[in-house]
């Protein structure tokens, strides 16, 4: 049993490590170790003030081994929007090699959703208790490397209200922190005059059509447009996007993932993320001339 360093959210906790399965592992896993950091982030939702998830453990699949890390920590995902994140663990020594997938296990009995009216609600996550929340993204940890990976929960795509309460069906996105950055900017107030819940969506590719919003080629992430009381500007931040070109669309109402709500963009612009430039921060202001 080893210990991890202090969490980025200013909490120090213990981390248990167990390796399960047969011997050997992947062909490169026995040749050395890597120092791995794992973080959580989230895209925003407009109808809630808090979504607290209690993370029990994280599993990593390395060849014939399943490496299990005990977390036992509660995270408020709605505090992890934009470029914000929190550590699951930091600088943990793990076997180098090829990894096939990872799983997060959530204790829903210790998790809850607080809506805008102050109501506190239980949540359910289908299949979570049996198989966890699986991220089917392979990755490699070279010997003596120190990578940071971010798990994007994106509650905005996955939280629904049913007859039996709130359900969370998250699509988790795994991001290599060395190959990602953020997009931030202001939005012209004239574009928001008819908006109730203004949102900026980021689509991969500079010419991606908004018509593909409800298809398999949906947005990578989204951000609420908020008033900065200090400056009087309306601002947004899209966090943890892989390096590349993006088409940004401003809409006046957030998309409901369970409904064909026929939303249309009111403005559009493009941005390029390069994590090696300006600490990975790209500025893309949405101005009046970007109106559609």
Euclidean distance between CA atoms 230 and 174, whole angstroms: 34
Torsions phi, psi for 211 (to 5 deg): -60, -20
User: Same domain for 117 and 12?
Assistant: yes
292 pLDDT above the threshold of 90: yes
**Do 261 and 255 meet the contact criterion of CB atoms below 8 Å apart?**
yes
Give the pLDDT band of residue 50 (cuts 50, 70, 90). very high
User: Same domain for 164 and 278?
Assistant: no
Euclidean distance between CA atoms 196 and 204, whole angstroms: 26
User: Same domain for 37 and 137?
Assistant: yes
User: Same domain for 45 and 188?
Assistant: no
User: Same domain for 214 and 245?
Assistant: yes
224-235 pLDDT per residue, tens: 999 999 999 999
Q: What is the pLDDT of residue 8?
A: 29
16 pLDDT above the threshold of 70: no
Euclidean distance between CA atoms 91 and 93, whole angstroms: 7
Torsions phi, psi for 157 (to 5 deg): -90, -10
User: Same domain for 158 and 55?
Assistant: yes
Contacts of residue 191, Cβ cutoff 8 Å, sequence gap at least 6? 198, 250, 266, 267, 286, 288, 290, 291
CATH of the domain at 228: 2.60.40.10
User: Same domain for 72 and 127?
Assistant: yes
77-97 pLDDT per residue, tens: 999 999 999 999 999 999 999
User: Same domain for 95 and 166?
Assistant: yes
Mean pLDDT of the 4-11 span: 27
User: Same domain for 161 and 194?
Assistant: no
User: Same domain for 136 and 205?
Assistant: no
Give the pLDDT band of residue 74 (cuts 50, 70, 90). very high
Give the pLDDT band of residue 259 (cuts 50, 70, 90). low
Residue ending a domain, among 147, 171, 195, is 171
Say how many domains are in the chain: 2
Q: What is the pLDDT of residue 164?
A: 78
157 pLDDT above the threshold of 80: no
5 pLDDT above the threshold of 50: no
Mean pLDDT of the 21-26 span: 38
37 pLDDT above the threshold of 80: yes
β-sheet with 221-224: strand ranges across: 221-224, 199-204, 244-251, 265-273
Q: What is the pLDDT of residue 15?
A: 43
**pTM reported for the whole predicted model:** 0.82
Residue ending a domain, among 130, 147, 171, is 171
β-sheet with 173-176: strand ranges across: 86-95, 33-41, 148-152, 173-176
Best-predicted range by mean pLDDT among 9-23, 129-143, 150-164? 129-143
Give the pLDDT band of residue 255 (cuts 50, 70, 90). low
Task: Determine which of 83-92, 160-169, 249-258, 282-291 has the lowest per-residue pLDDT on average.
Answer: 249-258
Q: What is the pLDDT of residue 160?
A: 85
Residue ending a domain, among 113, 138, 171, is 171
Domain of 256 in residue numbering reads as: 180-290
In sign, the C-alpha dihedral spanning 41, 44, 50, 52 is negative
User: Same domain for 252 and 107?
Assistant: no
Mean pLDDT of the 53-74 span: 94
Euclidean distance between CA atoms 124 and 108, whole angstroms: 6
176-222 pLDDT per residue, tens: 998 999 999 999 999 999 899 999 999 999 988 886 555 566 889 99
Q: What is the pLDDT of residue 72?
A: 96
The string over 13-37, giving b where at least 16 C-beta atoms fall within 10 Å of a residue's C-beta and e elsewhere, is eebeeeeeeeeebbebbeeebbbbb
User: Same domain for 19 and 159?
Assistant: yes
Mean pLDDT of the 40-53 span: 90
**Do 287 and 235 meet the contact criterion of CB atoms below 8 Å apart?**
no
Average model confidence (pLDDT) across the chain: 84
Contacts of residue 189, Cβ cutoff 8 Å, sequence gap at least 6? 234
């Amino acid at each position: 049993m080893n210990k991890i360093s202090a969490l980025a959210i200013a909490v120090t906790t213990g981390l248990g490590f167990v390796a399960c399965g047969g011997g050997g592992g992947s062909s490169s896993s026995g040749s050395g170790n890597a120092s791995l950091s794992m973080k959580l982030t989230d895209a925003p939702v407009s109808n809630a003030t808090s979504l607290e998830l209690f993370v029990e453990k994280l599993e990593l699949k390395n060849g014939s081994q399943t490496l299990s890390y005990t977390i036992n920590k509660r995270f408020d995902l709605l505090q992890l929007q934009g470029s914000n994140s929190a550590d699951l663990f930091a600088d943990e020594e793990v076997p180098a090699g090829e990894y096939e997938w990872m799983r997060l296990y959530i204790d829903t009995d210790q998790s809850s959703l607080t809506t805008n009216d102050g109501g506190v609600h239980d949540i359910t996550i289908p299949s979570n208790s049996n198989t966890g929340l699986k991220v089917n993204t392979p990755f490699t940890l070279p010997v003596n490397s120190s990578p940071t990976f971010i798990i994007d929960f994106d509650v905005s795509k996955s939280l629904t209200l049913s007859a039996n309460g709130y359900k969370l069906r998250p699509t988790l996105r795994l991001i290599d922190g060395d190959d990602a950055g953020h997009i931030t900017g202001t939005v012209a107030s004239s574009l928001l005059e008819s908006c109730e819940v203004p949102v900026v969506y980021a689509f991969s590719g500079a010419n991606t059509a908004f018509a593909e919003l409800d298809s398999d080629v949906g947005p990578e992430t989204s951000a609420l447009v908020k008033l900065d009381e200090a400056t009087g500007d309306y601002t947004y931040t899209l966090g943890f996007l892989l390096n590349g070109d993006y088409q940004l669309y401003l809409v006046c109402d957030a998309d409901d993932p369970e409904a064909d709500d026929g939303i249309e963009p009111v403005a559009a612009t493009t941005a390029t993320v390069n994590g090696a430039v300006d600490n990975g921060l790209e500025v893309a202001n949405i101005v009046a001339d970007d109106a559609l």
